[in-house]
């Protein structure tokens, strides 16, 4: 009861890349970089196991950014000429690559780190990919001229990589779709269908993560503008409940999402955010157990997975390590408090 998992990303060590950045520059290159990425992955596999998490990820140590890491292996994308673009409904400006030709995978994207993860823990493993709608919202289109068409083109490529990750022995493939919270109507009209295309044919567990973003200033300002109740989830959770996706990762602690919205996901596993990524303060096990307790009013115990609100990539390494421990200790306390 109460599996524990991270949403996806963890901070990169200072010897691998710049720290506390969303788009950090690597500090080494070539074969040395490939080795350094795996070394950092091992650091975080060990840290998650030592903390006591039951589901282990690679911490996204091998990709510069959660979206662009995938795109670097896609043909038809011009990375040389990035352009400035408003993303997540113009919440912030990013330098994004351009789609200039039909999309095609050059080969495997995440084979090295997925196999390395599988080889270095006996626990269940989770691997994250960006979702189709979020990719479409993080590239400039100079070719397709149609967001839906381009999303389904990306969904096919994601599906190829997802099936290969399953063959690598990954237990849970998760797609990250923060864009759902910026384009709720689109999520209902085609976002969930594109997600299902990306997950087509998978026999492993499938998941989607939808959040209010990393704990960076643009997101903190945006959240302050959303009012007393954040009801974005309400619009598309019914479509997700009717989909083939098995698990849904949502923000909970310190967010203004009404917890009763989780009831819209009856029958699904819900990854409940019990760790805040927008604050360096370390949660106590009691707080984590309290958050699990409040979610239990709307999610049954066998469907509740304790998780972080979002990725921890831009945080300080020591803070992230302490938050992993708080997550595991809080879930252990909840198992005592709320025995099935």
Cβ atoms of 26 and 63 closer than 8 Å: no
| Identified binder of Zn ion from the candidate list 77, 202, 272, 310, rule CB under 5 A | 310
Question: Beta-carbon neighbour count of residue 162 at 10 Å?
Answer: 25
Q: Per CB under 5 A, does 208 bind Zn ion? A: no
Smallest separation (angstroms) from Zn ion to the CB of 176: 6
Q: Which is nearer to Zn ion, 148 or 216 (CB)?
A: 216
Give the binding-site size for Zn ion (rule: CB under 5 A).
2
Please name which of 234, 175, 226 lies closest in space to residue 204, comparing C-alpha atoms.
175
Q: Which is nearer to Zn ion, 76 or 132 (CB)?
A: 132
Strand duo 172-176 + 247-250: pairing: unpaired
Q: Which is nearer to Zn ion, 186 or 251 (CB)?
A: 251
Q: Which two tokens stand for residue 218?
A: 């643009």
Interface region with Zn ion, contact rule CB under 5 A, candidates 25-33, 92-100, 196-204, 209-217: 209-217
Smallest separation (angstroms) from Zn ion to the CB of 4: 17
Smallest separation (angstroms) from Zn ion to the CB of 311: 5
Residue span 258-277 as binding mask against Zn ion, x where in contact by CB under 5 A, dash where not = --------------------
Smallest separation (angstroms) from Zn ion to the CB of 229: 20
Interface region with Zn ion, contact rule CB under 5 A, candidates 136-144, 180-188, 306-314, 320-328: 306-314
Smallest separation (angstroms) from Zn ion to the CB of 9: 8
Q: Which two tokens stand for residue 88?
A: 């997540």
Q: Which is nearer to Zn ion, 60 or 269 (CB)?
A: 60
Q: Report the length, in residues, of the chain.
A: 340
Residue span 11-50 as binding mask against Zn ion, x where in contact by CB under 5 A, dash where not = ----------------------------------------
Site for Zn ion in 140-159 (CB under 5 A): none
Q: Which two tokens stand for residue 139?
A: 């590239």
Q: Per CB under 5 A, does 312 bind Zn ion? A: no
Smallest separation (angstroms) from Zn ion to the CB of 178: 5
Q: Per CB under 5 A, does 211 bind Zn ion? A: yes
For residue 191, the 8-state DSSP code is I
Interface region with Zn ion, contact rule CB under 5 A, candidates 17-25, 47-55, 77-85, 205-213: 205-213
Interface region with Zn ion, contact rule CB under 5 A, candidates 73-81, 131-139, 203-211, 278-286: 203-211
Q: 3-state DSSP call for residue 74?
A: strand
Residue 205 to residue 159: CA distance in whole angstroms? 14
Q: Which is nearer to Zn ion, 211 or 262 (CB)?
A: 211
Q: Which is nearer to Zn ion, 112 or 220 (CB)?
A: 220
* Ordered strands of the 172-176 beta sheet: 3-4, 304-308, 269-275, 247-250, 205-209, 172-176, 124-130, 55-56
Q: Which is nearer to Zn ion, 12 or 118 (CB)?
A: 12
Smallest separation (angstroms) from Zn ion to the CB of 211: 3
The string of DSSP letters for 225-285 reads TS-S---HHHHHHHHHHTSS--EEEE--TTS---GGGGGGGTTSEEEEEEE-SS--SPPPH
Site for Zn ion in 223-262 (CB under 5 A): none
Q: Give the distance from CA 264 to its chain's centroid.
A: 21
Please name which of 198, 206, 204 lies closest in space to residue 158, comparing C-alpha atoms.
198
Q: Which is nearer to Zn ion, 211 or 299 (CB)?
A: 211
The string of DSSP letters for 97-152 reads EEEEEEEEE-S-SSHHHHHHHHHT-SSEEEEEEE-HHHHHTTSEESS---HHHHHH
Cβ atoms of 206 and 247 closer than 8 Å: yes
Q: Which is nearer to Zn ion, 17 or 134 (CB)?
A: 134
Q: Which residues bind Zn ion (CB under 5 A)?
A: 211, 310
């Amino acid at each position: 009861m109460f599996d524990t998992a991270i949403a996806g990303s963890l901070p990169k060590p200072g010897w691998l890349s710049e720290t506390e950045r969303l788009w950090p520059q690597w500090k080494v290159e070539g074969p040395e970089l490939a080795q350094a990425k795996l070394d950092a992955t091992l650091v975080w596999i060990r840290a998650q196991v030592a903390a006591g998490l039951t589901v282990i990820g690679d911490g996204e140590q091998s990709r510069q950014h959660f979206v662009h890491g995938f795109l670097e292996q896609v043909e038809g994308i011009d990375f040389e000429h990035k352009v400035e673009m408003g993303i997540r409904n113009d919440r912030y400006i990013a330098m994004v690559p351009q789609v200039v030709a039909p999309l095609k995978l050059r080969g495997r994207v995440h084979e090295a780190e997925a196999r390395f993860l599988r080889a270095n823990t006996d626990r269940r493993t989770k691997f994250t990919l960006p979702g189709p709608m979020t990719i479409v919202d993080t590239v400039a289109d100079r070719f397709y001229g149609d967001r839906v068409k381009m999303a389904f083109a990306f969904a096919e490529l994601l599906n190829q990589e997802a099936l290969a990750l399953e063959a690598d022995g990954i237990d849970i493939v998760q797609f990250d779709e923060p864009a759902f919270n910026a384009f709720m109507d689109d999520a209902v009209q085609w976002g969930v269908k594109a997600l299902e295309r990306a997950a087509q044919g998978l026999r492993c567990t499938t998941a989607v993560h939808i959040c209010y973003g990393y704990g960076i200033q643009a997101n903190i300002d945006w959240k302050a503008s959303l009012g007393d109740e954040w009801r974005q989830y309400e619009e598309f959770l019914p479509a997700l409940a009717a989909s083939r996706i098995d698990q849904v990762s949502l923000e909970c602690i310190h967010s203004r999402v009404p917890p009763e919205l989780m009831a819209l996901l009856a029958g699904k596993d819900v990854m409940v955010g019990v760790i805040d990524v927008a604050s360096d303060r370390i949660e106590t096990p009691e707080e984590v157990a309290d958050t699990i307790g409040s979610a239990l009013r709307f999610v049954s115990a066998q469907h509740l997975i304790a998780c972080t609100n979002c990725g921890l990539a831009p945080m300080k390494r020591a803070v992230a390590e302490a938050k992993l421990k708080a997550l595991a200790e809080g879930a252990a306390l909840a198992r005592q408090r709320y025995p099935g």
